[in-house]
Amino acid sequence: MKQLMILLLWSLGFTDLYSQGSVRTYKSGNYSHPTVYLVGAIHNMHLNQDYQYSINDLLAQIRAIKPDLVCGGITPEAYNQPMEGYFPPEAAFLAEMANGSWRERNRRIVEKGPVNYDNYLKVINSKRIEDLQEMIRQNINSNVAYRIPEKDLIPEGITYSSLTNSFYVSSIYKTKIIQIDAETGAFQDFIPSDLLEMRYLGMATDETRNLLWACGNMIKNNENHSTVNKFNLMTGELLKSLSYKDTTANTYNDMVLDEDGNGYFTDSHGKCVYKIDTESDSISIFYTGEEISHPNGITISPDNNYLYIASTDQGIRVLDMQKREIIGGVDSTFNSAGIDGLKYYKNSLIGIQNAVEEKTQVKIARYFLNESGTKIIKMEIIDQNNPLFDIPTTFVIVAEHLYCLANSQLKNFSSRDFKIINPEALNDVLILKYPLK
């Protein structure tokens, strides 16, 4: 059984702690529980790289053991030190591993540690392990922002508008777009299923021009049809459907808008990014090349100098928009292949990596850029292997919070037959919320 290492972070509450991470549970009959290990505290000396158990040493142990969640007791003198870049930032440390039962290990740590463990001991002495496990289970759901009981949506895209204070979620199976009231969570059909019968994917809102853009695809009479559709943001009225005339099949996937309202969207069936001219509503090929094979997510720098394209095969690529050239080679330091949704945020890129070999590798990651915004220099995991994940796809950033479609349930959908494989296995659609720095 894979280990789950839980250190109670004394300076944070359970809710604050577990809303930042992920905990995988294991089922025994009808009872689902994690294996709990309690280990030590972090001191100022751990910030010294020459110390035997430095931060780097501790992090190496974490990566070797591959726990589901690591949280650490931190002493006051170490708490305010710079610790960015770990998972979670204040908690990705592993103190000395001791043999013996969790109770024996806990006693040993309490005797050695200088931290006041009064609250810590109250939990241990007054709660059974089952109670601790229940606390963990409850906090797994603490970052669920919205729950959609329409289980067979098979959603893919999500966006937001401050004009309507609403989220918009696209549905592949229901061929529609729903609108969610951000305040109440109430939802309704915004673009009905029978309007275009498109399997909607990525979307973008243009609040200056009062528009909702949505990429859509369908197969009709054994022919593939792909369009980018322009709707009135307030009424849902279809204003125009645009398509690039091509001799090969396309999959219009995700899109982003520049400051002038021009759209750029990916064709995941090939190796192309298209541009929509906002004035003429015309489509042209903006860039094509093997460097962006099977492009998925796409985002843009605030100065409109660079497009960031998530190539399923080669990872995040940087495109100079003036020269229309890819900058640099494939990044071999930070694994960014297999990313779906991609957004620019404060000189970094955030992506959902779902095209991976193991389910445990599915994650939301933040890739920090250099000053010029042309190269990834650091990666930080926001969430990984969350038990609520079932092929998370895309997300939107609103008021320094990330809202993620956690469970598209795409593995339970046959695109060839256009049907749900096992309706009984479907769950409510969840949108998770994460605070961003």
pLDDT, residue 61, reads: 58
- Contacts of residue 193, Cβ cutoff 8 Å, sequence gap at least 6: 174, 175, 176
Domain assignments of the chain as residue spans, ordered by start: 4-142, 149-435
Angle between helices 102-112 and 118-126 (to 10 degrees): 160
- Cα torsion angle, 332, 335, 338, 344, sign: negative
pLDDT, residue 36, reads: 41
pLDDT, residue 286, reads: 98
Chain centroid to CA 270: how far?
24
Tell me the DSSP string of 60-120. HHHHHH--S----EE-HHHHTS--TTSSSTTT--------S-HHHHHHHHHHH--S--HHH
pLDDT, residue 248, reads: 80
Angular region, 261: left φ>0, alpha ψ -120 to 50, beta rest: left
As a whole number of angstroms, the distance between CA 34 and CA 43 comes to 27
Rg over alpha carbons for the chain, rounded to the nearest Å, is 23
pLDDT tens track, the chain, 437 positions: 333 333 333 222 223 322 333 333 333 333 344 444 444 455 555 555 555 556 566 556 555 555 544 444 444 444 444 433 333 333 333 332 222 233 333 333 333 333 333 443 444 444 444 554 555 555 556 689 999 999 999 999 999 999 999 999 999 999 999 999 999 999 999 999 999 999 999 999 999 999 999 999 999 888 889 999 999 999 999 999 999 988 788 999 999 999 999 999 999 998 999 999 999 999 999 999 999 999 999 999 999 999 999 999 999 999 999 999 999 999 888 889 999 999 999 999 999 999 999 998 999 999 999 999 999 999 999 999 888 999 999 999 999 999 999 999 999 999 989 999 999 999 999 999 999 98
As a whole number of angstroms, the distance between CA 437 and CA 420 comes to 38
Bridge pairing between strands 36-37 and 4-5:
parallel
Helices (H) and strands (E) in the chain, counts: 7, 32
The tokens describing 82, both together, are 């710079």
As a whole number of angstroms, the distance between CA 367 and CA 333 comes to 11
pLDDT, residue 35, reads: 41
pLDDT, residue 56, reads: 61
The tokens describing 281, both together, are 């509503």
Q: Tell me, which fold does domain 149-435 have in CATH?
A: Neuraminidase (2.120.10)
Q: What is the pTM of this model?
A: 0.72
pLDDT, residue 141, reads: 62
pLDDT, residue 47, reads: 57
As a whole number of angstroms, the distance between CA 409 and CA 375 comes to 33
The tokens describing 312, both together, are 């399923």
Q: How far apart are the first and last CA of the chain?
A: 34
Give yes or no for a contact between 266 and 253, defined as CB atoms under 8 angstroms apart. yes
| 3-state helix vs strand vs coil in the chain, percent to 5 | 20, 40, 45
As a whole number of angstroms, the distance between CA 370 and CA 391 comes to 30
- Contacts of residue 73, Cβ cutoff 8 Å, sequence gap at least 6: 7, 8, 9, 10, 40, 41, 42, 113, 115, 117, 120
pLDDT, residue 86, reads: 33
**Quick one: which of 60, 22, 62 has its CA closest to 39?**
62
Tell me the DSSP string of 121-182. HHHHHHS-HHHHHHHHHHHHGGGEEEEE--GGG-EEEEEEETTTTEEEEEETTTTEEEEEET
Chain centroid to CA 255: how far?
17
- Contacts of residue 331, Cβ cutoff 8 Å, sequence gap at least 6: 315, 316, 375, 376
